[in-house]
Structure 1
Amino acid sequence: LIGHDVSELLPELTLAQKWDLTATELARNVHSHPTMSEALQECFHGLIGHMINF
């Protein structure tokens, strides 16, 4: 990953890969506000069919 604030996203994605976490498990993770990690949370909820903001 390359880009502004990408370091905020790496820890969660690294854990997800290492522990083979599902989208449901990742969606249940706590994401602080306002942060870029909220975008990941929205993606995970979308993958499991429960969009938060749309």
Structure 2
Amino acid sequence: MALTGDDKDECIEVTIHGVRHFLHSTTARELSNMLIARIEEWNLIVRAGGAPGV
């Protein structure tokens, strides 16, 4: 993850498996919100099974 420079139209750079993705800040925020929601859902499932969450 990195902030982009002035030469890019988007604000956030995310590299996944060597592929760079450029996201607008509002898109990055929504992606973050969605990931947090799924992680919280996952934690409920694994904690019910006795495993620690993440």
- Regarding TM over 0.5, the answer is no
Report which of the two structures shows the higher radius of gyration computed on alpha carbons: 2
Structure 1 or 2: larger strand share? 2
Q: Greater helix share, 1 or 2?
A: 1
**TM-score of the pair, normalised by structure 1:** 0.31
Q: Which has the higher contact order (CA 8 A, sep 6+)?
A: 1
